[in-house]
A and B are shown apart, each in its own frame.
Chain A
């Protein structure tokens, strides 16, 4: 006789044992519902900026207007769900503050994502910005961490021209830039390797005094990067939660007139996140209770 046909204890214990044996596809369905219902209902929660989001905001905010900020798009569409909201907010923040923005990418598709951000964020909310003067797109350069190492000694060794082929020497925004240390702030929006870790290892390691760095990162690699904060990184945005907090700080200080959600994607995605987390916590508690209840029962979890 199959174990499911055996006599299980009645009451709460029996219920818990049955829950411990539930087909995992019901859990997938529950997760799907926990995400889709809040999403369709437009559920949102107020965000309270944490220490790291505030530090990141302050790092960009305290650099004087007109400073040169290098933003490296070190991610691709696979991690864009987590990183695009913070990248958008950072770009809007830098442009609003009046920084001169230099964009680059260590990932091939990062260049396209940066181009999209220039079109949808930079030129949409700051149409007065002039290419070559207020911003420039250097594009993707192959070589992974080798590119950072090259830029630590000479930016021109890594990039001789911008993405459109204009020599760097002819761009006002790049005037006086010799090494990566000549940027007042470096930002890496990082989805993996090469990314934040390599910026710290190869640029901060080469010029710790001249290199000021903040990063936005995925949840998966955040625990590896946390030791670098705050000594080797001035600020760090962790996953969608960090993006939501930072978005709130940025749009509070630099509101946009447009009634669209390009600068509130992080907050929008935190509603489903909250409900799904509650479900997962509940399932973890239930799973442990089922394991305890199943002790001593044939077929129960041990």
Chain B
């Protein structure tokens, strides 16, 4: 048997074992989970609140015809169907006018939906019934709800209903997650599909974000505000200085066109000028910010007393301080002092390590060596924090797969 055959055999054996382990682990996990907590997969609900507005008239506002003066009808207003004035009798619903009714749907997690249903004593098969979103006890809620519904008939109910659209979304997201994770076993078509979808969606999303958050409000709205208001942004505010805005908007428009000149067969040098503006602007912005925040402020933050003192509180007649003058006593803060010395040594030795004008041997070399240890500790801390971040991301995905998708 040659080396390649042996490698292939070992790889196949490993593949088989890994797939069997994954299947066994997955099936056992799901079976155990379902045994303890039976729930459907990809369960998704929406809370649907039915709002209603009714036409009402103010009781007693009508004026009858007197002495040839025509009668004045009652004042009419559109109000919420549970407006307190309707119950108080100061308003009455106008008969024969259909109320304006609309549904507001808001996404609800499966757990929250189940909790709400349990709190309201509603079973899954009675999902069309109103549920208790108020935190009242079951009896209080039912009492209030029956009284309210008796007045409002079928209007303004909040109910929880299963959402097929959201369930499909969960299935899609779960399959994409598994597709991405499958890369850990080996590269495969499912991973490629998931990766392509991610890239395509991201590119399209960023293009739309750039269009709606930059081009429309910052360029088109300045050049043609009336057109933008009529076609794209009805809520666009009227500028106090439309002429100035128009002229100023011509500058980025010109720069953008110059940048696009790069695509032309000749005159590519024109695209260099807007690039120069972009680079110059950012260099200027970042330079001053970095000097202030990362250089001056950091130097100031490093210049701390090496010997750290702490003030002990005045403790009345058993205090350590001068009670008569109300002055707290001062003592050496050993921990703070050690920390300050540790910091100073770190700053000096790391700076020496990065000082390349002297050969790193002798005292300089030994000092730089200490600096290397500081750097190693820093990299270790950074690695640990990165691991923590990545584990959290994986835990969140597992949480999604276990709870949202599998319903464990």
Contacts and interface: CB of A to CB of B under 8 A. Distances in A.
Interface of A: 1-2, 4-5, 23, 25-26, 28-29, 31-33, 35-36, 39-40, 79-82, 108, 119, 140-142, 145-146, 149, 160-161, 165, 167, 198, 200-202, 204-206, 208, 218-220, 222-223, 227-228, 231-232, 238-241, 257-260, 269, 272-273, 276-277, 280
A201 B22 CA distance: 48
Contacts of B376: none
A247 to B, nearest CB: 14
Contact of A29 (B22, B135, B210, B294): B22
A219 B388 contact: yes
A240 B6 contact: no
Interface of A is mostly: helix
Nearest to B112: A260
A82 B393 contact: yes
B12 to A, nearest CB: 12
A36 B392 contact: no
Contacts of A280: 387
Interface residues of B, number: 58
Contact of B213 (A80, A142, A205): A142
Interface of B: 1, 3, 6-7, 10, 14, 18, 21-22, 25, 29, 32-33, 106, 111-112, 115, 135, 184-185, 209-210, 213-214, 218, 235, 237, 285-286, 288-290, 292-294, 297-298, 300-301, 378, 381-382, 385-389, 391-399, 402, 408
A220 B218 contact: no
22 contacts: A1-B6, A5-B6, A28-B184, A29-B18, A29-B21, A29-B25, A36-B398, A79-B389, A81-B393, A145-B285, A146-B285, A161-B237, A167-B237, A198-B289, A208-B297, A219-B385, A219-B389, A223-B382, A231-B300, A232-B301, A240-B389, A260-B115
Contacts of B382: 222-223
Contacts of A165: 235, 237
Contact of A201 (B135, B185, B237, B293): B293
Nearest to B3: A2
A155 to B, nearest CB: 16
Between B1, B18, B22, B388, the greatest number of chain A beta carbons within 10 A of the residue's beta carbon is seen for B388
A145 B395 CA distance: 32
A240 B392 contact: yes
> For the complex, would chain B's binding face be called helix, strand, loop or mixed by DSSP majority?
helix
A231 B184 contact: no
Contacts of A167: 237
Contact of A40 (B1, B385, B392, B408): B408
B207 to A, nearest CB: 12
Nearest to B296: A205
Contacts of A241: 388
Contact of A142 (B218, B378, B398): B218
Contact of A205 (B6, B111, B297): B297
Contacts of B1: 2
A232 B395 contact: no
Nearest to B108: A120
Q: Which 9 A-B pairs have the closest CB atoms?
A: A81-B396, A219-B389, A205-B292, A219-B385, A165-B235, A2-B6, A201-B289, A223-B382, A201-B293
Contacts of A82: 389, 392-393
A156 to B, nearest CB: 12
B237 A140 contact: no
Contact of B402 (A26, A28, A39): A39
Contacts of A79: 389, 393
A280 B184 CA distance: 17
Contact of A36 (B29, B213, B294, B300): B29
B388 A239 contact: yes
A220 B382 CA distance: 7
B293 A273 contact: no
Nearest to B213: A142
Given A223-B385, A232-B293, A239-B392, A40 B213 contact: no
Contact of B18 (A1, A25, A31, A35): A25
Given A4-B10, A205-B289, A220-B386, A272 B395 contact: yes
Contacts of A272: 391, 395, 398
A145 B290 CA distance: 13
Q: Which of B18, B33, B389 has the most CB of A within 10 A?
A: B389
Contacts of A25: 14, 18, 184-185
A39 B184 contact: no
